[in-house]
Structure 1
Amino acid sequence: MKNNDEQNQSEFIIGRHPVVSALRGKQEINKVFLQNGIHKDEKSVEEIIKLAKKKHLVISMVPKQKLDLLSDHQNHQGVVLSISPYKYASIDELFEHSKSKDTEPFFLILDNIEDPHNLGSIIRTADAAGVTGIIIPKHRAVGLTATVAKTSAGAIERVPVARVTNLINTVNELKDRGVWIFGTDIKGTDYRHWDAKGSSAVVIGNEGKGISPLLKKNVDEMLTIPMIGNLQSLNASVAAGLLMYQGYSSRHPL
């Protein structure tokens, strides 16, 4: 995907549902690619064309080989969207987003998540669980890519993501602004007792190494997910999902 100017200067969203979500959102879009021979009367394709025309976007009919190249041979379903790289939010904008939702901040801090599928899945669950912002580091972690966008199934358009230089400094800034910081570890309070009412943020560690030692020292409380099997760790997106929904449960009790 890196052998021409168009590919170097753009990210790509692939698949019909993610493309529709992007066209409905505020993401800056460059061009819509449709596969030659695609059935334009199919409901999803018809909606894509309608939304693209509403935004006065260029629609290019191209051979399947072109879409295979742009999508890095992933399942594009005959549709690819060329977009400018995703814009990240600021920390202030995360607080503003929380306020616009008429709720206390509920943030997710991801400590060096490397797998784009994990990040996309986390963003999708965050949207469903009412998370009002996600914070990721600039270095040694995946950013907002086309794979992340596709895996998020459109949620990337609704959950603001801030990318910061130093997570420890950011955690301390959040604490100064009244946010309680919770980490995840093998030893800690059973996550089922976690009350996420008020301004809260939970840190999810790297897929293999967990939360970095220095970051651990700056959290207010550690949470643990009890396990009775032989494995004592969960996939990062699964662990994040459990914690986000415990946060949802405590903030929206039955």
Structure 2
Amino acid sequence: MARQLIYGQHAVAALLEGDPAGVQELWLQDGRDDAVSEHARDLAARHGISLRAVPRATLDRMLKGARHQGIAVRYRATRATRASDLEQLLAGLGDTALLLVLDGVQDPHNLGACLRSADAAGADAVIVPRRRAVGLTPAVYKAACGATERVPLVTVSNLAEALRRMAKSGVRLIGAGARAGIPYTQAELLGPVAMVLGGEGRGLRRLSAELCDQLIHVPMRSGAESLNVSVAAALCLYEVRRQRARNEAGEGLRGAG
């Protein structure tokens, strides 16, 4: 992966803590004297990372006006999770595997928000196609608020083939669409599951939908627009968690009886 300028307090802190070997230089805005800056300075000193204090105008110019919060790094990913192999991922999944598949999400803020939701819901990985979709850009790092360091983003060259491989490995494919299938709370989501969602505007592509074991939707009142993909992803992922927690609680009660 090429070197990138990553900015924002949460994104930079996550890189300094999770992949310091990939951080080549740290920039802090002149005059910053807060807990975030002090923590960043300590981590930079601990890992031998070059630190530069620069005027805000320099950061504005470097980052083309992005909302950088006075902190940025030059970064090149080193961890294996940056290019996780799908077969390796599938081989290590257990009975409670939870994957999020995004079919053509192109907005970096949406991908970042999906990564945050996947992280919070305990998903094992997020899977995206290499083409016609956004990858790990600086805007994604910032929007993800550190989730990029905790949830592997697996990029595949052929999404349809990847879905077939997931199904072959025992993962049930659940496709979510605006008006597809049954309400998401009525689907049985126990066992290894991959939630498959489409991109902005277009939604789930026909072939991806055909490869799914079941289609679901989030009910909305008449006339309402479709949900943002990151909102839909969060609802679906947490429905998986809700059902699994209820199932575990039920098994515990039966065992106690």
The alignment's TM-score, normalised by the length of structure 1, stands at 0.89
Q: Secondary structure at the match of 1:234?
A: coil
The Cα offsets for residues 5-39 of structure 1, whole Å up to 9 and x where unpaired, read as xxx95212212222111111026111101122222
Alignment of 1:59-70 (within 5 A): 59-70=51-62
Q: 1:245 aligns with which of 235, 238, 242?
A: 238
Structure 2 contact 90–169 (Cα < 8 Å) conserved:
no
Q: Give 1:96 deviation, angstroms.
A: 6.2
How many residues get paired? 242
Find the counterpart in structure 1 of residue 224 from structure 2. 231
Find the counterpart in structure 1 of residue 89 from structure 2. 94
Q: Secondary structure at the match of 2:126?
A: strand
Q: 1:125 aligns with which of 117, 124, 142?
A: 117
Q: Give 1:98 deviation, angstroms.
A: 4.5
Paired letter, 2:87? D
Find the counterpart in structure 1 of residue 27 from structure 2. 33
Q: Give 1:65 deviation, angstroms.
A: 2.0
The Cα offsets for residues 25-65 of structure 1, whole Å up to 9 and x where unpaired, read as 026111101122222xx211110011111111111122222
Find the counterpart in structure 2 of residue 116 from structure 1. 108
The Cα offsets for residues 96-131 of structure 1, whole Å up to 9 and x where unpaired, read as 6655xxx63210100000100000001001101111
Structure 1 contact 13–82 (Cα < 8 Å) conserved:
yes
Structure 1 contact 194–246 (Cα < 8 Å) conserved:
no
Find the counterpart in structure 2 of residue 210 from structure 1. 203
Find the counterpart in structure 1 of residue 253 from structure 2. none
Q: Summarize the Cα distance change of 1:24–1:151 in structure 2 as closer, same or farther, 3 Å threshold.
A: same
Aligned counterparts of 1:58 and 1:225: Cα–Cα separation in 2: 48
Q: Secondary structure at the match of 2:211?
A: coil
The Cα offsets for residues 134-192 of structure 1, whole Å up to 9 and x where unpaired, read as 10000011001111111111111100010001110000001111110010121201100
Find the counterpart in structure 2 of residue 170 from structure 1. 162
Q: Give 1:70 deviation, angstroms.
A: 2.6
Structure 1 contact 190–223 (Cα < 8 Å) conserved:
yes
Q: Secondary structure at the match of 2:132?
A: coil
Find the counterpart in structure 1 of residue 191 from structure 2. 198
Q: Summarize the Cα distance change of 1:243–1:184 in structure 2 as closer, same or farther, 3 Å threshold.
A: same
Paired letter, 1:53? A
Structure 1 contact 14–81 (Cα < 8 Å) conserved:
yes
Q: Summarize the Cα distance change of 1:71–1:214 in structure 2 as closer, same or farther, 3 Å threshold.
A: same
Paired letter, 1:239? A
Query: What 5-or-longer segments of structure 1 have no aligned partner?
Result: 1-7
Percent identical: 33
Q: Give 1:71 deviation, angstroms.
A: 2.3
Structure 1 contact 9–84 (Cα < 8 Å) conserved:
yes
Structure 1 contact 95–105 (Cα < 8 Å) conserved:
no
Alignment of 1:143-182 (within 5 A): 143-182=135-174
Q: 1:17 aligns with which of 1, 4, 10?
A: 10
Q: Give 1:79 deviation, angstroms.
A: 0.7
Query: What 5-or-longer segments of structure 2 have no aligned partner?
Result: 250-257
Aligned counterparts of 1:50 and 1:145: Cα–Cα separation in 2: 26
